[in-house]
Amino acid sequence: MSDHLLVLLRHGQSEWNLKNLFTGWKDPDLTETGVEEARQAGQRLKARGLSFDTCFTSALLRAQRTLELTLAELGQTGLPIMRDSALNERDYGDLSGLNKDDARKRWGEDQVHLWRRSYDVPPPGGESLKDTVARALPYYCQHILPAVLRGERVLVAAHGNSLRALVMVLDGLTPETIPAMELATGVPLVYRLKSDSTVAAKDVLTA
């Protein structure tokens, strides 16, 4: 079973997370807290004796730095890393860079909530969660899952919404249940997959 290891890791706190800004495809770095979260993720994985063969991440700095810091804690800095915008955060379009409270004042609480929490209603110029699933899931099926099923131990460092697209499939969630599912920054989700790609076990490493 250990040969079918898949770990999903949301990046550590970013500068824009701290400022309560819509981030999307914008590219802020990690905060000091985010750096520490990434290091703790590596420590938690190491404490459980986990190591990796292959890594995937997005085209954005906060995910890439999280991966680098996590691997440094594991002593595995030389691993092959695939970077692809298919794993980028959801594009928030016209909301990108705006303070979430300011957005509520401008468009109203209900409208901003709909953009943030609905499955298929995109913000102006941006992507819905459904749109994010439509690009992240094919990448998972074509690149990540085959590596896992070949017996490679895989670590994916990405973003709240692109990872929710993968969790939606792994956990069997629906368009009705996935919007309420939150992923904490810097907390590894450890999956053991069966040979048919379904989940044999899941562990959330909160400590």
Q: Which domains does the chain have, with CATH numbers?
A: 5-204 (3.40.50.1240)
- C-alpha 172/C-alpha 99 separation (Å) is 33
The reported pTM is: 0.95
92: tokens are 């928030």
pLDDT in tens, 175-194: 999 888 889 999 999 999 99
Map residue 96 onto helix, strand or coil: coil
> Tens-of-pLDDT digits for all 207 residues of the chain?
457 999 999 999 999 999 999 999 999 999 999 999 999 999 999 999 999 999 999 999 999 999 999 999 999 999 999 999 999 999 999 999 999 999 999 999 999 999 998 999 999 999 999 999 999 999 999 999 999 999 999 999 999 999 999 999 999 999 999 888 889 999 999 999 999 999 999 999 998
Give the other-Cβ count within 10 Å of 93's Cβ. Answer: 16
Using a 10 angstrom Cβ sphere, with 0-12 exposed, 13-18 middle and 19 or more buried, the burial of residue 83 is middle
Contact 51, 65 (CB under 8 A): no
The catalytic residue positions are: 11, 89
How much is the pLDDT for 1? Answer: 44
Q: In 3-state terms, the chain is what percent helix, strand and coil (to 5)?
A: 45, 15, 40
Give CA–CA dist 18/49, Å, rounded.
32
Q: In terms of DSSP bridges, do strands 5-10 and 154-158 run parallel, antiparallel, or are they unpaired?
A: parallel
